[in-house]
Chains A and B, each alone.
Chain A
Amino acid sequence: MLPRERFAWIWTAALIVVGAAYFIAVGVQQQAHAELSFLTRIATLAAALGSLGVIAGGERLYARLGGGGHRYEAPDERERFMDARSSTFAYYVLMAGMLVVGFVMPFKHSGWDIVHGALLAVIAAEVVHHGSLALAYRRGWRV
Chain B
Amino acid sequence: MSEKRLTNNIRTLRFMAGEMTQADLGQRVGLTRQTIAAVEAGKYSPTLETAFRIAEVFGKPLDEVFRWES
Contact = CB atoms under 8 A, between A and B. Distances in A.
Interface of A: 2, 71, 76-79, 137, 140-143
Interface string B12-56: 000000000000000000111011001001111111001000000
Nearest to B30: A76
Q: Looking at chain B's contact residues, is the secondary structure mostly helix, strand, loop, or mixed?
A: loop
Report, as a range, how many residues of chain B touch the other chain.
10 to 19
Contacts of A143: 43-45
B35 A76 contact: yes
Contacts of A76: 30-32, 35
A78 B35 contact: yes
B38 A78 contact: yes
A78 B30 contact: no
Contacts of A140: 38, 41, 43-44
A71 B29 CA distance: 14
Interface of B: 30-32, 34-35, 38, 41-47, 50
Contacts of B30: 76
A32 B60 CA distance: 73
A71 B32 contact: yes
Contacts of A141: 43-44
A125 B58 CA distance: 43
30 contacts: A2-B32, A2-B34, A71-B32, A76-B30, A76-B31, A76-B32, A76-B35, A77-B31, A77-B35, A77-B46, A77-B47, A77-B50, A78-B31, A78-B32, A78-B34, A78-B44, A78-B46, A79-B32, A79-B35, A140-B38, A140-B41, A140-B43, A140-B44, A141-B43, A141-B44, A142-B42, A142-B43, A142-B44, A143-B44, A143-B45
